């Protein structure tokens, strides 16, 4: 399968713990996105990378959240000192920008539950 993969698929943690999620994009894609989605809502943009450079980050994103994409391949999203409000589905998407067009391909998501 050459689609976007995310690990783990589910994570349960206690409030105050740190968690890290991994995303492996489609291999030739140069852009990688992280989104958060809560029940009944559409995805909310968190941040994105073009190759290894983090180009945009949501102003609403807490400084407890950090993302990396070393070498422009896989990416990790870390949440420090988790709070119950962080419980959500975390989605990763990748895309290949060609000219003025790009189409995002989403992974299956990581569902986080903070107790």
Partner 1 sequence: LAKTTQPISMDSYEGQEVNITCSHNNIATNDYITWYQQFPSQGPRFIIQGYKTKVTNEVASLFIPADRKSSTLSLPRVSLSDTAVYYCLVGDRGSNYQLIWGAGTKLIIKP
Q: Which of residues 77, 79, 88, 93 is near partner 1 by CB under 8 A?
A: 93
Residue 64's alpha-carbon distances to 2, 17, 51, 71, 82, in angstroms, are: 31, 11, 23, 23, 8
- The torsion angle over the Cα atoms of residues 20, 46, 27 and 80, rounded to 10 degrees, is -10
- Of 45, 72, 74, 96, which lies in the binding site for partner 1, with binding defined by CB under 8 A? 45
Contact flags string 4-43 toward partner 1, x per CB under 8 A: x--------------------------x-x------xxxx
Tokens 């000219």 found at: 99
Binding of partner 1 by 99 (CB under 8 A): yes
Q: Which stretch binds partner 1 (CB under 8 A): 12-20, 61-69, 75-83, 107-115?
A: 107-115
DSSP per residue over 79-99, as a string?
Answer: E-S--GGG-EEEEEEEE--BT
Q: Which residues bind partner 1 (CB under 8 A)?
A: 4, 31, 33, 40-45, 48, 55-56, 89, 91-93, 95, 97, 99-109, 111
């Amino acid at each position: 399968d050459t689609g976007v993969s995310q690990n783990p698929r589910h994570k349960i943690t206690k409030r105050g713990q740190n968690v890290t999620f991994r995303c492996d994009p489609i291999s030739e894609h140069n852009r990688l996105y992280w989104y958060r989605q809560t029940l009944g809502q559409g995805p909310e943009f968190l941040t994105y990378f073009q190759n290894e450079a983090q180009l945009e980050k949501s102003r609403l994103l807490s400084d407890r959240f950090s993302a990396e994409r070393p070498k422009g391949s896989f990416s990790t999203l870390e949440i420090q000192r988790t709070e119950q409000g962080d419980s959500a589905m975390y989605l990763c998407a990748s895309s290949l920008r060609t000219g003025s067009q790009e189409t995002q391909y989403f992974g299956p998501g990581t569902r986080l539950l903070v107790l």
